[in-house]
Structure 1
């Protein structure tokens, strides 16, 4: 099989890193604004492809095998970030159907009706009537959204301008933006406590992802440490089980987190952590900066080629 022949020399086992996939949402149908994002039918196809190529295993098991030098060849892991409700409602039944384990990194502060700032922006623009948004009073420019392409352009522009503001300022700007558009926003995007417990009872791993999903590099060290520690504690209270894995919010090495945050994660008792750096961890992987990549492709060939190519690129570390 082409997939196995391509991946066999790249996923060698031992102390090497597995191929780690990162997802966020699995939508019920294809999103008209973001058609490349994963929907249920496409996620099912990807699970079928991946399980035919690789031995998909829990990330924590893979970490422990890496530490012992016993990682099996063609090992792969699936992870989800943030804590969206569709992870439990849509992704979980598909994972169970294909008998695939996954790790869910949950930002605890958005459970039970919360909403991430970027989703507020996306849903504001998605739901706004066609026309023009003049956000120049906020320093965010003027945006038209008469067509889906214009809506996507407006969303990407606003997200780019807001992303690296201090957390309090960013939330204030989003609130003011919401006042300009005055459209109702969803309150059911993120999981409820019971859905997190449902994942845990199903044998899925729950990992830490801070409380409020801040850019750690933009916080003072005590704030960053508190976000990591309090998120871990909240999820342990919720599941009654240790939280041993962590995902850096946004996850860019050197940009979104630094060596000091890697040290915090280690000191707080996590066994490993993942970034959003693409590429391969190499012969001496840093268990606290394991790379991941997003498998966007919708054809089996492109999916396989992207996975193989990703494993040939060196990952960046903080």
Structure 2
């Protein structure tokens, strides 16, 4: 599973890799596994003929850096991948999840400098309950299945998704953007692919799948109706863009879902779905295929 890349036109950030590092990962994977093209992986997964060493490559979030920096490497290795696309940015609707990530990485010396300021800001917002939530967080081992997250990474995500909620988190971050004079319009133009980029991927044999419309970070907190709207709008947009009706793959934004999500995806004809970690799932179905984050693979390379 891949997200962010750095290189010409794209700054380095937390978790990003270069084209050269991507190629090193592919070389290592080819020595250890059999990399299948996305279509072949899907057919094998659904027919029950996947072999233990069969894997595929997937990219989430429709990021422009994937098109500019990862796609040429894929072409040189002659590999076709899954690209899971959320629609809002392609429809001209800014998605602040990615904008806030860019702000964290571009406006501070390092990510922990951002966290210091963010935690201070949040403590000012919810000062009476901040320490109580900290105890709940520590007792819960929140996101313990993601070993590449630091303690501050996990505490930030806990505050964002379990304490603040979308509205208060958004307002807190907007205050910080204003404090740092962050140029929102300039960032939007360089962060995401366009519809033409996605169409190019499709025409060149890569599989395009769903990733929700607006990329909620905790989709299980939405009602079933709201979840269905997220995926219906996502599918309708991509089907219209690509001139097809048979989109049948997806990945779960932030690895978050519940029984309602799986029911909605089945109704929409989605056959195969991917998690965002290798965590154990009881009675795992075809909409819950585990994925390894590239950060964990990179650690194995550098041991």
Could you tell me the TM-score, scaled by structure 2's length? 0.76
Matched, 1:121 2:85: no
**Alignment correspondent of 1:174:** 173
Cα RMSD after superposing both structures: 3.3
Counterpart of 1:243 (choices 233, 242, 247) is 247
SS of 1:183's partner is coil
User: Is the alpha carbon distance of 1:110 and 1:47 closer, same or farther for their aligned partners in structure 2, counting shifts above 3 Å?
Assistant: same
Gapped regions of structure 2 (runs ≥ 5):
131-149
Offset, 1:112: 6.0
Counterpart of 2:59 (choices 76, 80, 98) is 80
Aligned positions, number: 267
Q: Deviations over 1:167-202 (max 9, x none)?
A: 344333332332233222412201111111111111
Offset, 1:238: 1.1
**Alignment correspondent of 2:207:** 205
Gapped regions of structure 1 (runs ≥ 5):
1-21, 142-151, 306-318
User: Is the alpha carbon distance of 1:297 and 1:225 closer, same or farther for their aligned partners in structure 2, counting shifts above 3 Å?
Assistant: closer
Matched, 1:191 2:193: yes
**Alignment correspondent of 1:68:** 47
Aligned runs of 1:31-50 on 2, under 5 Å? 33-34=13-14, 36-50=15-29
**Alignment correspondent of 1:3:** none
Task: Give the distance between the partners of 1:32 and 1:97, measured in 2 at CA.
Answer: 23
User: Is the alpha carbon distance of 1:281 and 1:260 closer, same or farther for their aligned partners in structure 2, counting shifts above 3 Å?
Assistant: closer
Aligned runs of 1:1-318 on 2, under 5 Å? 22-28=1-7, 33-34=13-14, 36-72=15-51, 74-111=53-90, 115-128=94-107, 133=117, 135=121, 137-139=124-126, 158-164=156-162, 165-185=164-184, 186-187=187-188, 188-214=190-216, 215-241=218-244, 242-251=246-255, 256-279=256-279, 286-296=285-295, 302-303=300-301
User: Is the alpha carbon distance of 1:244 and 1:293 closer, same or farther for their aligned partners in structure 2, counting shifts above 3 Å?
Assistant: same
Could you tell me the TM-score, scaled by structure 1's length? 0.72
Q: Deviations over 1:21-40 (max 9, x none)?
A: x1112222796653x53221
| Contact 2:6–2:12 (CA under 8 A) maintained in structure 1 | no
Higher mean C-alpha displacement, 62-71 vs 162-171: 162-171
**Alignment correspondent of 2:137:** none
SS of 2:60's partner is strand
Question: Greater helix percent: which structure?
Answer: 2
SS of 1:291's partner is coil
| Contact 1:121–1:155 (CA under 8 A) maintained in structure 2 | no
SS of 1:246's partner is strand
